[in-house]
Amino acid sequence: MNQTPAEPHFSGSIPGNYDQYLAPMFFEPYAQDVVNRIDSSAVSNALEIGCGTGRVTRHLNKILSPVCRFVASDISPDMLAIAKERLSGANIDWKIIDAETLPFEHSSIDLIVCYFGYMFVPDKVKAYAEAMRVLRKGGMLLMATWDKLEHNEASFVFRKTVKNYLGDTLPEWYKLPFSMHDPGSIKKMLIQAGFVKVSSEGVLKMSYAESAAKAAQGLVKGGSLYNEILKRNPAWVDEIISIVENELGEKYGKVPMEAPMSAFITQGWK
């Protein structure tokens, strides 16, 4: 995904914490739901955009044919390195790719999956048009995006706490992860990009962590806001973890922690 200074960066210790804590808590519950919407028998060439640490990649790898050409990509080398390590030996072509400029020929891809990634792409219509360009006729774009922040309750607890500390100094990209919560707008952009059929479904799940303590650790240290906290005052890290852990424990359980979350799964066909 094309990153500018106004967007989050996943580097340093963040990708490891992201994969250890946030991936199983937020991303694993939707992974199987997403791949269940794929007819793998019709896929000879597949592309994943914004694969991160490979949470849905490993599910795609299981259902796609061994002879399918599967390209998994991200803009972050650090995130991609973890995905490659987790799927060492898999028949996957790993690439650093910008969603707005796909290095593939016209009508050469059967399936494109972007799992909670398009929120960070600056020019979404351009990215969708690129997806449209490289898809074959009848090919599908499959994406997942988060619902409103307040409908993702563990994230809401964390971000509310961080906002109390950072206030007006929150970075511009603070709202990006939960910015694509309007399925009508998503459909409009996809149709504008040329997709002939679009469907979008709201899907409710539960985010699960072994404990509120581990959930708080992941929320604070597994996202780009961690760097913003460190810039302001490193001592705030433990304070914020403690506050988030206590609130999560009170509302959603200390061991385990289970909180409601909501996302949209959208499919577009060429």
Length of the chain (residues): 270
- Is 48 a domain residue? yes
Residues sharing a CB contact under 8 Å with residue 206, sequence separation 6 or more, in sequence order: 29, 258, 259, 260, 261
- Is 204 a domain residue? yes
pLDDT at 9: 60
Q: Angle, nearest 10°, between helix axes 153-166 and 212-221?
A: 50
Region label for 179, one of left (φ > 0), alpha (ψ between -120 and 50) or beta (otherwise): alpha
Q: Distance between CA 134 and CA 62 in Å, rounded?
A: 24
The 10s digit of each residue's pLDDT in 190-209 is 999 999 999 999 999 999 99
- Is 6 a domain residue? no
Question: Which residue, 43, 45, 72, 42, is CA-closest to 134?
Answer: 45
CATH code (residue 219): 3.40.50.150
Domain count, the chain: 1
Q: What residue numbers bound the domain in which 161 lies?
A: 14-269
- Is 132 a domain residue? yes
pLDDT at 5: 35
Q: Are 114 and 1 spatial neighbours (Cβ–Cβ below 8 Å)?
A: no
C-alpha 170: how far from chain center: 21
pLDDT of residue 2 exceeding 90, the answer is: no
- Is 221 a domain residue? yes
- Is 3 a domain residue? no
pLDDT at 10: 67
177-187 CB burial, b ≥16 within 10 A, e <16? bbbbbebeebb
pLDDT of residue 3 exceeding 80, the answer is: no
What is the reported pTM?
Answer: 0.94
pLDDT at 1: 40
The 10s digit of each residue's pLDDT in 103-160 is 999 999 999 999 999 999 999 999 999 999 999 999 999 999 999 999 999 999 999 9
Q: Distance between CA 84 and CA 89 in Å, rounded?
A: 9
- Is 100 a domain residue? yes
Residue 221: Cβ-neighbour burial (10 angstroms; 0-12, 13-18, 19+): buried
Q: Distance between CA 132 and CA 190 in Å, rounded?
A: 9
pLDDT of residue 245 exceeding 50, the answer is: yes
Mean pLDDT to the nearest integer, 13-26: 93
